[in-house]
Structures are given as C-alpha cells and as structure tokens.
Amino acid sequence: MNAIDVRGLVKRFDGRTVVDHVSMTVKTGEIVGFLGPNGSGKTTTIRMMCGLLTADEGEGEVLGYDVRRESLKIKREVGYMTQRFSFYEDLTIAENLDFVARLYQLRPRKEYVDRTLEDLGLTTRRNQLAGTLSGGWKQRLALAACIMHEPKLLLLDEPTAGVDPKARREFWDEIHRLAAGGLTVLVSTHYMDEAERCHRISYIAYGRMIASGRVDEVVRDAGLTTFVIEGEKLSEVAAALQGRPGIEQIAPFGITLHVVGSDAALMRRSLEDIAGRPGVTVRPGETSLEDVFIQFMSGAQDNMQ
C-alpha cells in the first residue's frame, strides 16, 4: 500500500511554475529521501502533500485521502518538521511537549508527554529550558513534538541542517526505528550520506522530477564514468583538463582528482597524455551519488531565470 501517491502536481507563484508536474509514490513504512538544489521545489511539494498548500493542477492521495479535497484529514495524521522548527525557548522540554499535546487534544496528556520523553531519550532533560539546548537536542525535541500525536506519515524538511555528525547519526537511527514500526518517512536533505540511508531517493531539479529509485539504481542509470588521478601537481593537471572533450566534472578529493563524464571512450582519449606524465596515475573510480547530483544540477534549467 502507498502512503503517498501523487500525480502531476503543479504549483505556481506570481506566474512562475515552482513545481512542474511532479509525481511520487512512497510505500507505507518506507523512508524516501527527497533531494535537489535550493529552490528546486522540495518544500513546496511537501507542503502540497501535507495539506498546507493546494495544488494548481494534479491529483493524488496521501494516507488514502485526496490531496485536494481532504487536506484537513491529512493534516491530522501527518507530522511535519520544518527547517526552522519553532518552540518556546523559555519553557522546559516537558512544557513544550505539553503545549503540543494540548494543540492535538491528546488525552491523557501527561501519559503522551511522558511516553514521548522516554521514547526520544529526553526524560532526564525534561526540566531543561528549550533555549539552553544544543542543536542536536533541539532537533530531538522537534522530532518528539512531531511524532507525539502518533502520525502515520512523517515529513522532514532538511531536519539535520547545522547538527553535528554524532547527532545526525542518532537522529537517523531513530528514523529507522520509527519506520520499522510502520511509520512512513519522506525527508529532504542535502547530505549524501543521509540520502544513502534512505530506502529510495527522488531527485527534483527546479520543479521537475529528474530521477527516482534506489541509490544504486540512480547512480547506474545516470550513465557516468569516473576516473581517479593520483600524483603530483594535480592543480596543474586539473587546469590542463578543463574544457577537454568528455570531461564534464573535475573535483579534488584529498590527494586525488576525480574526473567524471558520460562518454567513457572520449574521456580515455582526453586522459591519455595525463596518464603518460611521470609520477601520475589514472585509474577507473567509482561514481558517487554526489557526482550524479552535480550532473543533474548542471543539466537542469533554473525555472526562476
């Protein structure tokens, strides 16, 4: 069963098409990463699916409810964590959650708050003021507030921006625990390691859906070839490769240079003289998800221009 099944969603602002016929399916209990450059339409798409915006065109169902006619029912069963989740900094963690429980009219309120504190590992900090929390703990509080009413779908809009790696890993461990319990998760992110922790990914560029599938499928279908160059004076090598046939990306990675393109034969010819330089080696490399996304971005047209 699909928790999300939307088709041809369109949203325009001031005559500009921000979301251009986007379709997406997400199965119940699945974690799907929603990726794309800033301004690509991710947040607008998420808001249409959770009932905060009405699509100008398109149709579909979220949690079995029509996205155009039953947005209020969708809202009741969705947890939506925005990029800047707001809470009262002069209230404690427990008081913030109690306030959210009142909004959702949860009964008995104290049991909901206590259970959520326990589930998210917040019990020992229940009396700490929210304003004194570190980024990772604020993020955990935000997640707690989003799942306390036991939603069926969790929509996360860049939830780990500005959070340290340890807190990010703990956050993702929690997301997988929730998904194992049947919660469906759609998360927008710019972090490639987070995208690789999703069951599937969907990539949107400037309002249009470009690719969707498992990470290995998206990388494979991009049809890119990567070569790794090692040796001395790599900055000079990079300068020499600029503009050569078949060379579409050049990026330094530590003490190596990654060269990416979509025509392997053409790339090999362009790299022949480089491979012949003393002290320089050229070997096949593995195309990364980041390489694929850079390629998608370079090939997409900005709909705001």
CA 237, distance to chain mean position in Å, is: 34
Query: What letter would DSSP give residue 305?
Result: -
**DSSP 3-state helix, strand, coil percentages of the chain (rounded to 5)?**
35, 30, 35
Q: What is the pTM assigned to this prediction?
A: 0.90
- Is the bond into 108 cis (omega within 30 degrees of 0)? yes
Helices (runs of H) and strands (runs of E) counted in the chain:
11, 14
In terms of DSSP bridges, do strands 57-62 and 2-13 run parallel, antiparallel, or are they unpaired?
A: antiparallel
Mean pLDDT of 248-259: 94
Placement of tokens 């969603």 in the chain: 9
Where are the domain boundaries for CATH 3.40.50.300 in the chain? 2-213
Report pLDDT digits (tens) over 127-144. Answer: 999 999 998 899 999 999
Query: What is the pLDDT at residue 274?
Result: 95
Q: What is the CATH number of domain 225-286?
A: 3.30.70.920
- How is residue 90 written in tokens? 């002069």
Where are the domain boundaries for CATH 3.30.70.920 in the chain? 225-286
CA dihedral 92, 156, 200, 189 (to 10 degrees): -100
**Where is 272: in which H helix or E strand?**
helix 264-275
How far is Cα 26 from Cα 32, in angstroms, rounded to an integer? 7
Report pLDDT digits (tens) over 182-212. Answer: 999 999 988 888 999 999 999 999 899 999 9
Q: Is the pLDDT of residue 107 over 60?
A: yes
Q: What is the CATH number of domain 2-213?
A: 3.40.50.300
